Structure 1
């Protein structure tokens, strides 16, 4: 999947840039700031799994994104006289969200690399931190600096500056790139990697909250202008960038970063005051609710669409049949993850679709293609003699299908259809990449908040088992009932 993302992201960014270039006048005046002030809100895109920069806390039963970057965003919004809106998504999806207009700015401890500057405008550097390496405390004596990791496997967040540093500064080490820092820490503890490269505030946060971890200085001397954090804006947003730079200048002049760090530290203390999984039951409950909602709606739409596609494919109109075949083969031939991203980012360029709705649409459209083949197989399993007998009794083709073929076909396909429903519960987890707070997303939230890797995974695994086992028993009840009819 990670290799696929390396190909998919540049492709999506390229398509977005091409469409944007086609619809945007070359000499259009920059009214980026006026647009934000006119709508009264500025949308910040972030991946809240990177404490103390951005992470989640539970306030009054609701997830709230907090951290250094959030405080900076609040300052910028206040200076503009607008309201701050925070949109959560995977780090890999942030720039795509910026390009497609899903967010107005990206604040996620992002480094303005040369590659990113080709498609994104960046503000001034607002903070620069040293780079450290997180290791298992038991192995801390083995490592003194980055040079100690020769021949070792080192982890870093995919698409981050740390991943680039491992490639350029640790050429004799092997890089393992993962999207979430929580997954990297889990890989470290399970000895899949020997160290995880992270910024000093992030490394400090994990080490202070996990007695099994220690921190090693990298020993790198880096240019702060090339390795600091900046805010990303859509290309051509000069006025917006200039306004943000004014806020950043005030933040630096007043030394506000230190106070922002203290605020983030208090929130982190709140998260780690009680790290039992029961304490975070509301997080998991919310994830279950969204997972079941997505699955239920996708099942209904998928069955209706699948039935229509199956009948189209079995029909005698060549054009209609060809359209059904093309849809089914295309959907089954592309990953669900790509379909989710296309609906949210691609179609979202022209129609503003909320993340939850986009996730439901993508999962439902995907399910419809598989359900279509299941139903088609069930219909074709009915002997043609029954169809001929029904027609000879004066039943129309529609009546024959409704009263004779489909009732028998449903009995034949029910087990396969049930498996598709059960699979939907698990496959719906992919919507977490666009920020839908399903069970997998909440699992990551709890990992980030508690600095525990395995326990949240175990809880989520048990929940998924209960959901799928309960559904399988329910479907089995109806299957037995149909057999006795």
Structure 2
């Protein structure tokens, strides 16, 4: 209890004080200064590709890869890296309210953005290319872009679907990463931006509705190539390496890579703690991302643990029966293979395989996919927990039950299992706790769990610390409530034991 109180006190202190760090960053004023520096990029982006050319040189240049541009910007603010290479418009958005950061005038590289489409979907590629050409000719494409970019035109040309448009030709599932403002970002709970308006305009032309799937950037091409999504659009640059596994439409905009660096003359952040709380949770109802994520986390964890316990019980009984009587040889072999594979591979890899491979051609709910993946994973660990609990029961218990005329099955269910469950209850509770926290990887298949809810807030506010601490507190509360409930259950079982005595 003292340890928990100490951890809680440290978290509270960190929340109000913040995380300080020694600033030993190298001053970057041009591309020539990049050698020997620490470069921050978003994993899988064009900036990552370009920065890789510097990695491992004689000057000792290193590249730090982050899942989101907001993470890289936060690391730059804290002095963990020397600069960030990113797309121009997302970079502008990231430093808009950050007085300590600036963008160098010198462009790092020029690039063309395009829509990615699966290699075997030539029909859709032709339709998208034809529609982009129409939008360019009509001037609609320029209006969409100018509505988000340009001091004189911003907000003056919002895209609206033409009257009388029908969507009788189906749905286009769009994979994106809503952290690239102004191309794609969250506003009032919806994904908006240049790319989203372009996709809505394409959908209107083709008579198809648009369904947006927000996921990690490095998952977009996999989602499209596996037909989990029809197209991918996220400020994505056409490169030779990407073109090997995916097709690209014609370009719809030219952009550039820029370098974000710290401004040595900048003043300290003037936002108060109350203002930060408002910006992260109250403004635009951003707390709802946490509520949605919490709901999905609890649903996935609860359903997965119930199914996992059933799987675990079945596997444990098969394994114990084989160990004690030599029965169920084939089933025991299958169970051993299952345990070896599940316990020997990472949970995230299992989730991605089930989503992108097992359910490649099946359109099922992502929540259901997550439940199945976590249940299969949890079942393996529950099986070994239960097997240990059953094996800990003295053999005399089984012999006593059989001598009373009970069958092996009756003895197992009426005498052995109740005692085994009581013995392994703390271990089962710990497995449930681990399962709740492991759901934080659901963002890799575009599902909003509690952790991803905090990530969405960070992508909007570029404030990493407060959303992360809020998410940590919610997880801590859930775990503490579960610990209390299991403790009460254990006490009630001990009371029953004393009454029986």
Give the TM-score category using the shorter length: 0.5 to 0.7
TM-score by length of 2: 0.65
Kept in 1: contact 2:186–2:456 (CA 8 A): no
Structure 1 residues 446 and 394 mapped into 2: Cα distance closer, same or farther (>3 Å)? same
Equivalent residue, structure 2, for 1:277: 281
Match of 1:402 among 413, 417, 420: 413
Match of 1:244 in 2: 128
Q: How is 1:90-109 mapped onto 2 (pairs within 5 angstroms)?
A: none
Structure 1 segment 26-65 matched on structure 2, within 5 A: none
2:96 to 208, 211, 216: 208
Tell me how far 1:269 sits from its aligned partner: 11
> Separation in 2 of the partners of 1:386 and 1:370?
25
Q: Is the 8 A contact 1:157 1:178 kept in 2?
A: yes
Residue number in structure 1 paired with 2:221:
none
1:470 aligned to 2:481?
A: yes
After superposing on structure 2, the runs of 4+ consecutive aligned residues of structure 1 that deviate more than 4 Å are 138-141, 169-172, 263-274
User: C-alpha separation between the residues in 1 aligned to 2:312 and 2:439?
Assistant: 18
Structure 1 length-normalised TM? 0.67
Distance 2:418 2:183 in 1: 61
Q: CA RMSD in A?
A: 2.6
Match of residue 175 from structure 2: none
Query: 1 or 2, which has the higher helix percentage?
Result: 1
SS in 2 for 1:235: coil
Counterpart in the other structure of 2:328:
317
Q: Which residue of 1 aligns with 2:308?
A: 302
Alignment equivalent of 1:412, drawn from 423, 440, 449: 423
* Helix, strand or coil at the partner of 2:359: helix
User: Which residue of 295, 298, 303 corresponds with 1:292?
Assistant: 298
Structure 2 distance, partners of 1:357, 1:267, is 27
- Measured after TM superposition, the shift of residue 176 of structure 1 is 1.0
Q: Deviations along 1:108-151, whole A, 9 cap, x unmatched?
A: xxxxxxxxxxxxxxxxxxxxxxxxxxxx9x99993221222221
* Structure 2, unaligned runs of 5 or more: 1-20, 156-180, 189-274, 322-326, 497-501
Give the secondary-structure state (helix, strand or coil) at the position aligned to 1:422. helix
1:76-107, Cα deviation, whole Å (9 max, x unpaired): xxxxxxxxxxxxxxxxxxxxxxxxxxxxxxxx
Query: How far apart are residue 371 of structure 1 and its match?
Result: 0.3
Mapped to 2, the partners of 1:236 and 1:361 lie a distance apart of 29
For residues 220-254 of structure 1, the C-alpha deviation after alignment (integer angstroms, 9 at most, x for no partner) is: 454xxxx3111111113333222222232344441
Give the greater-gyration-radius structure (CA).
2
Q: SS of the residue aligned with 1:168?
A: coil
Cα pair 2:293 2:449 within 8 Å, conserved: yes
- Alignment match, 2:46: 161
* Count of paired positions: 345
The answer as to 2:158 corresponding to 1:152 is no
- Helix, strand or coil at the partner of 2:41: strand
Asked if the contact 1:144–1:217 (Cα under 8 Å) also holds between the matched residues in 2, the reply is no
Give the C-alpha shift of residue 198 in structure 1. Answer: 0.5
